[in-house]
């Protein structure tokens, strides 16, 4: 748990920033105090700074979390590739409204259209990045589902193991898989599972006839 304690710090800072932005931005003093004739108010400015800080902290949280996930091919390692594009997508979506607090008063009709198109392209780009990352990590999920499915398959009596290549049943004395032709490990005793050397007629561990 201590290894992820930093995540709590990010979350606390994000909540505090959002709360301060909401409280200060809602005060009458901030709403009535403007900056010249630009139409920009102190409320807009403080909310932009507070909400913008929360968004940046959220992106840093996701980026750091993705790098904390080990690339060992186990557990959540496949999620590592998806976390960063997912967080980026959320940041771009939320960032549209946050940045608008600052630049909105300066945008005319044409400027607002250009501004919206920039974010439309950004959102589509982040979404495509996430889809590609999901595609790249899908092989791991498929392999995990196969691993979960195989142990539940009933194994006929007399079968000592399964083929490491295709999962087919492997009986005592078999040197090659009957389904895929994969070479198998040394044969094992059908009584106790002890490894048998080629040519042995009896198991050296329990005396059971080989074959």
Query: Which tens digits make up the pLDDT trace of 119-128?
Result: 999 999 999 9
- pLDDT tens per residue across span 23-38: 999 999 999 998 877 8
97-121 pLDDT tens trace:
999 999 988 888 999 999 999 999 9
pTM above threshold 0.75: no
pLDDT over 90 for what percent of the chain?
38
What's the mean pLDDT in 7-15? 90
211 — pLDDT class (breaks 50, 70, 90): low
pLDDT confidence of residue 56: 94
Evaluated on CA atoms 112, 117, 120, 125, the torsion sign reads negative
Query: Is the separation of the CB atoms in 147 and 158 below 8 Å?
Result: no
SS3 208: coil
**Which pLDDT score, from 0 to 100, does residue 43 have?**
93
- CB within 8 Å of 154: residues ≥ 6 apart: none
Task: List pLDDT tens digits, range 143-190.
Answer: 656 655 554 444 454 545 666 566 667 666 666 777 777 666 666 666
**């940045």: which residue's tokens?**
99
Q: Is the pLDDT of residue 1 over 50?
A: no
Task: Provide the β-strand partners of residue 41.
Answer: 34
pLDDT at 51 > cutoff 90:
yes
């Amino acid at each position: 748990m201590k290894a992820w304690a930093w995540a709590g710090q990010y979350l606390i800072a994000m909540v505090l920033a959002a709360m301060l932005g909401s409280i200060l931005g809602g005060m009458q003093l901030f709403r009535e105090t403007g900056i010249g004739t630009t139409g920009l108010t102190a409320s807009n400015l403080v909310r932009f700074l507070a909400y913008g800080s929360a968004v940046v902290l959220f992106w840093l949280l996701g980026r750091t979390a993705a790098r904390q996930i080990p690339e060992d091919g186990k557990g959540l390692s496949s999620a590592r590739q998806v976390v960063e594009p997912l967080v980026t997508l959320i940041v771009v979506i939320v960032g549209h409204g946050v940045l608008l607090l600052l630049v909105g008063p300066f945008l005319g009709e044409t400027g607002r259209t250009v501004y919206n198109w920039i974010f439309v392209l950004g959102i589509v780009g982040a979404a495509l990045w996430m889809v590609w990352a999901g595609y790249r990590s899908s092989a791991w999920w498929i392999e995990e589902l196969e691993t979960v499915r195989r142990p539940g398959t009933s194994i006929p009596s007399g079968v000592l193991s399964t083929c490491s290549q295709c999962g087919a049943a492997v009986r005592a004395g078999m040197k090659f898989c009957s389904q895929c032709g994969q070479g198998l490990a040394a044969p094992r005793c059908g009584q106790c599972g002890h490894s048998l050397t080629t040519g042995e007629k009896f198991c050296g561990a329990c005396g059971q006839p080989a074959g």
